[in-house]
Structure 1
Amino acid sequence: MGTTRLKYTKGVRSILEDSKGNIWFGSHNEGVCMLQNGRLHYFTTQNGLSDNQVRSIYEDKNGIIWFECGIGLSRYDGEKMTVYNEKKYDSKNGWKLTDSDLWFKGDETAGYNKLEGGPGVYQYDGKNPCSCVAIRWAYHEKFHSKRWSGW
């Protein structure tokens, strides 16, 4: 059941208004909250979020809500939360940007970066979902001047 007052005590890190008019609040370490029709609904690791630190929130063209978390990547399709597992990445293959790409950069101390030996950039392609530990920023080519996230 939703509540009417935001209960975060450690602060809000990210905010998104989605295409349905819902407002999403990502917290420092208390999960994510959706304001829908005047009610607040909370999502944490207890109900499917990859980590309770939500650094940024993004909506794709299909209305899927993506959460860049302290550990990993999660998505919400309107009914359930999904966490994507790490994918092996070969940096020798290079990178090619298209209008529909969604890229994430991971922390140099964890995740795929161990395979590269340093910081790296990762692409979500829809067929081989990935999750990077400690994602630092996300990038979408179509909105390149508006969709950077991180710190």
Structure 2
Amino acid sequence: MSTITPCLWFDGRITEAAEFYVGLFPDSRIVAVTHYPEGSPLPAGMAMTADLVVAGLPLQLLNGGPHFRLDEAFSLSVTVDGGQAEVDRLWEALLAEGGSPSQCGWLKDRFGVSWQIVPVELVRLQADPDPQVVARVMQAMLRMRKLIVADLEAAARG
């Protein structure tokens, strides 16, 4: 059986990133870390890959050097079922130590990985059968950086 695991290209710091991610989400763990052998493109002994599970998702971090950069074309979308407090916790933790906020619940963490922090309430509101509700929620979301559940719900009510 084949498996698919997202692999994120890093230029260093994969062990630090792996430890940060598994500490942030429940049901997370580092599965394995491999190191470059002698004669490799990067120094022998340096971490080459980190295989981890983050909130149940298998993920691989590759320390491949400066040749490629992470960008917003690929993001990790987190559907948050814990209300505004959990949205706030993840948002602040991922922005800490050099992350940058974007629009509509997107941010980039200090390692350059793009994340979407999406409260489950937004998912529910976007599925409302009333197209006017969905349009109001969309307009409210487009004005936000971090998604605010109370403001999305207020927009839905009109």
How high is the TM-score relative to the length of structure 1?
Answer: 0.26
Larger helix percent? 2
Greater relative contact order (CA < 8 Å, ≥ 6 in sequence): 2
How high is the TM-score relative to the length of structure 2?
Answer: 0.25
Larger radius of gyration: 2
Larger strand percent? 1
